[in-house]
Amino acid sequence: MSDVQGFFAAIRGGDVAKVQAMLTEDPPLAESKNEQKQSPVLAAVYGGQSAVRDLLIAHGAHLELHEAVAAGKGVVLVDGRLVENLHVEEAMRIVALTEAIEAQRPAR
């Protein structure tokens, strides 16, 4: 049985080793929610636990759009689906390139 409360306590406490161990033992914890309906990533972001946030993202925790933004990630959406999770600077560069390409296309 999952120890969701213990998992979120480790996240809040910034205990990277414990979070890693718990994810190894029970991978679905990465997709759990706390009492406030926060994902592990969002709880880490709001708690200022950047090392735990990075571990969760590296472990493949799913990010909703608002969670990706809160985690300091830019996003690329295709047909409303998150297909890439980028650092903000890289996302801004891709948007600028896309806009430049669009500006070069002949008007229809």
pTM of the entire structure?
0.62
Residue 102: exposure state from Cβ atoms within 10 A (0-12, 13-18, ≥19): exposed
- Which pLDDT tens digit goes with each residue over 6-37? 999 999 999 999 999 999 999 999 989 999 88
At 7 the pLDDT is 97
Q: pLDDT tens digits for 96-108?
A: 777 787 788 777 6
Mean pLDDT of 45-63: 85
Measured CA to CA, the distance from residue 65 to residue 80 in angstroms comes to: 10
| Tokens at 89, concatenated | 């600077």
Average pLDDT over residues 78-107: 65
Position 1 scores a pLDDT of 53
